[in-house]
Amino acid sequence: MKADRQFGEELDVMDQKNSEDTGLNRREFIKGAVAGSAALATGLPQILEAEKAAPSSRPYAELRSLPPGAIKPEGWVRLHMEGQARLASALPEISYPFFKGTFWEGEENSPAWFTWEQKAYWVDGATRLALVLGDEALLVKARASLDYTLSHPSSNGFLGPKFLEFGDDFGGLNRWPNTVLNRGFMALADAQPTPDKVDPEKIAESLQKHYLNDQASYISGTRNITNLEVILWCYERTRDRKLLEMAQKTWDQYMKDAEDEVAAAARAATNGTVGRRRFSMHADLARSAVFADTPIQSHGVSYAEISKLPAILYLYTGREDYRKFVVAAQRRIFDHHMLIDGIPSSSEGYAGTTALDEHETCDITDHAWAWTYVLQATGEGVWGDHIERACFNAHAGVTRTDWKGFQYFGSPNQFLANLNCDHGTERWFGSRRLAYQPNPAQLIGCCGGNGHRFFPNYVLSMWMQTKDNGMAATLYGPSTVTAKVGSANQNVQITQRTNYPFEEEILFEIKADHPISFPLSLRIPAWCNAPHIKVNGVSVGSVLPRNGFAILRRTFKSGDVVTLNLPMNVKSTEWPNNGIGIERGPLVYALPIETKWTSVAEAAYSSEDFPTWEANPLGEWNYGIALDPANVTSQVEVKQKHYEQNLETSAWLWSDAPTILTVPARKLEGWGYETNPKEPHQRFTPHLPDPGSLKVSDQVERLTLVPFGATQLRMSIFPKLNG
């Protein structure tokens, strides 16, 4: 009781107004649409408010991300990234021409725009990876394209090849590859300390000239509008109000055009003149569709990249209609397309939510990146929950644990991952997209570069600054952050010691030269209903998070230790076709299928050191889970062991996870692989069976499940049998 009195009043909550403004209930979405129109009509006064707030950057951000270099990965996070850095470093040497070529380094001949996109993905990812790890050799490689491009502007200031400046293979002015590359400039200029021979002001001024002189329309073109992300970064750096006005006008016109497209499509359907397009020209982002919460008719990457833009606009303008829009746009993803591993089906358009729906690896990176902006705009911890879920399940689940390869498409159930087993849509059926490859490609190799953006961006968002000069732990994992806090902007260092998400306890060790008073916000995931916090071993009493955070307001001194405990409960989830999934905390669990790995060095795609990997199943998988859904906790057994945090000696957590589960299951006779009638030897992961058509064993066995992210061949959505 003494403990409660001592620290209880220190626990605070984040501003409740936020949760009322951006909460995920339907009435609020409808209200949002109305409020949005009103704010659009009033427009500019809110820009002026942002101007007054200078020099504070992103004045309306509820949470503000830190520069590359402020957060250092430790423990399993560092091990994971070091494996990734070895592959990222090798990629330009692997023979796939679009990495080996001198794209963004003087090359002008190209078969298509996507060559520039995929090299740029790699440049941005490798730059961020190098900055986060402090890997100077990788930074030299990654910077070659950035340094060349910056030092070779056209007479107009355009940064990039003439191939893009004056047109592309589709005849328009395609500016999407510029967005992808320019994010590398953003990371390089923001990095602390500033790397050798980097001039952040020159980068910002060069981009300012590039955008203000460019003759391209940022409203037309499939993804030209994505440049708003860089334009707004450039506004923050240069304070050139023309950039902010350009971004707002472009977005507002894009919204109008998107609505016009919907109206034109409705007229055409009525007249019977035009069939339905597969994808909307405006990524299906018309306000009417977004606030009606309809299923999305769009390419996943386009939607993720464009739908996030109002969150960034909000950071600089505080226009509430922007924030309402972005939350509503994300809601459609969760309501209609979300797969069990935390990323929506996207092969390459959004699809269903079955055990066999797939997502492109680019979509893992791009959706999580989008949510980092939503987190900053809303200050709601639930966006951290979403990013973690994507990280620990979808991202880890498409990656070999040794970082020797990853997939183009990944799926909740994948019993095979070879060069001809893609069970996805007709378009990709039988393709190589499920195989694990250093550069997962089949002509287009976007994921090979983009896959390297995910994890550095995760680390860059693990900590954020709060509006009141405090720190927020936004994503968990072993790491150390250094930042300025409190009214006097004093340095503090906070180290997270933890094996999370494999364990429930996270220690925060504070280091500071002098005692500092600042608010420390700890994200309380929505899945956790009994969080517990101690300061120097003494409980702070009951924790009542608001907006997904608990806040400790106190004077911290060097050596203070805050302990956060996030008890993880087991639960089951339901999926189409009588499917059931098992989760515990942020981790989805899966049946790992014993695998025979074979590798081949393919001239076009891989090398001797980084070959193409095929995974074929040796083990059995034909089981259903026999659980009583009302009584899951007592029927699922949790087995845990503890690893010491020691980089030299600790086992690799993803290949030997400390927490495993056992569940009651029964064998299903007659459930086998599906085959290609024209090629009987070509096998595919089967659909979930109709339980009535199979013989269910009388014998109950205990199946061992491991974290989804620890598996390459797996079943994570099981046939549901009676308990």
Between 283 and 706, CB nearer to Zn ion: 283
Minimum distance, C-beta of residue 346 to Zn ion, in the bound complex (Å): 9
Does 434 contact Zn ion by CB under 5 A?
Answer: no
Measured between alpha carbons, how far is 605 from 477 in angstroms, rounded to an integer?
33
Minimum distance, C-beta of residue 227 to Zn ion, in the bound complex (Å): 20
Site for Zn ion in 489-548 (CB under 5 A): none
Between 184 and 581, CB nearer to Zn ion: 184
CA 594 to chain centre: 29
Between 351 and 636, CB nearer to Zn ion: 351
Site for Zn ion in 242-301 (CB under 5 A): none
Minimum distance, C-beta of residue 281 to Zn ion, in the bound complex (Å): 21
DSSP code of 399? B
Between 311 and 446, CB nearer to Zn ion: 446
Q: For Zn ion, what does the binding mask look like between residues 323 and 362, x meaning CB under 5 A?
A: -------------------------------------x-x
Minimum distance, C-beta of residue 366 to Zn ion, in the bound complex (Å): 9
- Would you put residue 541 in left (φ > 0), alpha (ψ -120 to 50) or beta? left
Minimum distance, C-beta of residue 122 to Zn ion, in the bound complex (Å): 12
Minimum distance, C-beta of residue 112 to Zn ion, in the bound complex (Å): 15
Minimum distance, C-beta of residue 609 to Zn ion, in the bound complex (Å): 23
Judged on CB neighbours under 10 Å (0-12, 13-18, 19+), 559 is: exposed
Block residue for tokens 């609020």: 28
Minimum distance, C-beta of residue 299 to Zn ion, in the bound complex (Å): 11
Question: By rule CB under 5 A, what count of residues binds Zn ion?
Answer: 4
* 3-state secondary structure at position 620: coil
Minimum distance, C-beta of residue 434 to Zn ion, in the bound complex (Å): 14
Between 444 and 694, CB nearer to Zn ion: 444
Is the distance from CB of 256 to CB of 291 less than 8 angstroms? no
Helix axes 176-190, 228-238, angle to 10 degrees: 30
3-state secondary structure 48-100: HHHHHCCCCCCCCCCEEECCCCCEEECHHHHHHHHHHHHHHHHHHHCCCHHHH
Minimum distance, C-beta of residue 231 to Zn ion, in the bound complex (Å): 24
Q: Which residue is nearest to Zn ion (CB)?
A: 362
Minimum distance, C-beta of residue 682 to Zn ion, in the bound complex (Å): 24
* ∠ Cα 231 120 118 (to 5°): 130
Residue range at the interface with Zn ion (CB under 5 A); choices 2-10, 318-326, 441-449, 614-622? 441-449
Between 364 and 377, CB nearer to Zn ion: 364
Between 284 and 358, CB nearer to Zn ion: 358
Q: For Zn ion, what does the binding mask look like between residues 76 and 115, x meaning CB under 5 A?
A: ----------------------------------------
Residue range at the interface with Zn ion (CB under 5 A); choices 11-19, 395-403, 444-452, 619-627? 444-452
Judged on CB neighbours under 10 Å (0-12, 13-18, 19+), 197 is: exposed
Non-local (6+) Cβ contacts of 630 within 8 A are none
Minimum distance, C-beta of residue 357 to Zn ion, in the bound complex (Å): 16
Does 632 contact Zn ion by CB under 5 A?
Answer: no
Residue range at the interface with Zn ion (CB under 5 A); choices 216-224, 225-233, 270-278, 446-454? 446-454
Q: What token pair was written down for 99?
A: 């990495």
Does 446 contact Zn ion by CB under 5 A?
Answer: yes
DSSP assignment of 681-715, as one string? EEEEPPPPP-GGGSEEPS--EEEEEEEGGG-SSEE
Between 377 and 446, CB nearer to Zn ion: 446
Between 446 and 566, CB nearer to Zn ion: 446
Minimum distance, C-beta of residue 654 to Zn ion, in the bound complex (Å): 22
Does 191 contact Zn ion by CB under 5 A?
Answer: no
Between 110 and 317, CB nearer to Zn ion: 110
Measured between alpha carbons, how far is 658 from 573 in angstroms, rounded to an integer?
23
Between 359 and 400, CB nearer to Zn ion: 359
Pairing, β 623-627 against β 718-722: parallel
Between 319 and 453, CB nearer to Zn ion: 453
CA distances from 543 to 4, 336, 490, 564, 618 (A): 11, 33, 28, 11, 47
Element (H, E) at 664: strand 659-669
Does 138 contact Zn ion by CB under 5 A?
Answer: no
Residue range at the interface with Zn ion (CB under 5 A); choices 243-251, 273-281, 289-297, 442-450? 442-450
Tell which one of 370, 447, 568, 710 touches Zn ion (CB under 5 A).
447
Element (H, E) at 22: helix 16-22
Cis peptide before 55 (omega within 30 of 0): yes
Pairing, β 71-73 against β 695-696: unpaired
Among candidates 180, 164, 83, which has minimal Cα distance to 446? Answer: 180
Between 358 and 385, CB nearer to Zn ion: 358
In 134-271, where does DSSP find H-type helix? 136-151, 162-165, 176-190, 200-213, 228-238, 241-271
| Residue 305, phi then psi, degrees to nearest 5 | -70, -35
Does 368 contact Zn ion by CB under 5 A?
Answer: no
Residues that bind Zn ion (CB under 5 A): 360, 362, 446-447
